Amino acid sequence: MERPVRALLRRIGVGLFLALVVVFTSFLLVKLGAGPTDVLLGGPSPGVEERAQLVQDYGLDRPAFVQLVRYAIRVLGGEFGRSWLTSESVLDEILHRLPATLELMLYAIFLGTLMAVPTGMAAAFARDTAEDRTVRGTSVLGEAMPPFFLALLVLLVFFRWLDIAPAPSGRISIVLSPPPTITGSYFIDAFLMQDSIAARSALAQLVMPVFTLALMLGASLTLLVRGAMLAQMDAPHFVYARAQGMSREMLTIIALRGALPAIGGGLAAQSAALLSMTALVEYVFAWGGIGQYGLEAMAKADFAAVQGFILASAAIAATVHLLHAVIRRLARIRIRRA
Is position 309 an interface residue for other proteins (rule: CB under 8 A)? Answer: yes
CA distance 232 to 292: 40
Is position 144 an interface residue for other proteins (rule: CB under 8 A)? Answer: yes
CA distance 215 to 281: 12
DSSP state of 170: S
Judged by CB, which is closer to other proteins: 21, or 106? 21
Judged by CB, which is closer to other proteins: 228, or 251? 228
Is position 192 an interface residue for other proteins (rule: CB under 8 A)? Answer: no
Runs of H (alpha helix) within the chain: 2-31, 37-42, 48-58, 64-76, 90-125, 130-144, 147-155, 186-192, 196-233, 236-243, 248-269, 271-285, 290-299, 303-337
Residue 316: alpha-carbon gap to chain centroid: 7
Query: Which range binds other proteins by CB under 8 A, 61-69, 78-86, 154-162, 194-202?
Result: 154-162
Query: Minimum CB separation from other proteins for residue 13, in Å?
Result: 10
Query: Minimum CB separation from other proteins for residue 192, in Å?
Result: 32
Per-residue interface string for the shown chain with other proteins, residues 195-234, x marking contact by CB under 8 A: ----------------------------xx-xxx-xx--x
| Contact (CB, 8 A) for 282 and 105 | no
Contacts of 113 by beta carbon, 8 Å cutoff, 6+ apart:
218, 221, 267
Query: How many residues are listed for the chain in this entry?
Result: 338
Contacts of 199 by beta carbon, 8 Å cutoff, 6+ apart:
187, 190, 191
Query: Minimum CB separation from other proteins for residue 288, in Å?
Result: 16
Is position 110 an interface residue for other proteins (rule: CB under 8 A)? Answer: no
Judged by CB, which is closer to other proteins: 46, or 227? 227
Interface residue with other proteins, options 190, 280, 281, 304 (CB under 8 A): 280
First and final C-alpha spacing in the chain: 24
With CB under 8 A as the rule, give the number of residues binding other proteins: 67
CA distance 163 to 214: 21
Is position 269 an interface residue for other proteins (rule: CB under 8 A)? Answer: yes
Per-residue interface string for the shown chain with other proteins, residues 47-66, x marking contact by CB under 8 A: --------------------
Q: What is the CB neighbour count within 10 angstroms for residue 284?
A: 20
Residues within the interface to other proteins (CB under 8 A)? 14, 17-22, 25, 29-30, 32-34, 40, 123, 136-137, 139-141, 143-149, 152-153, 155-156, 159-160, 223-224, 226-228, 230-231, 234, 262, 265-266, 269-270, 272-273, 275-276, 279-280, 283, 294-295, 298-299, 301, 303, 306, 309-310, 313-314, 317-318, 321
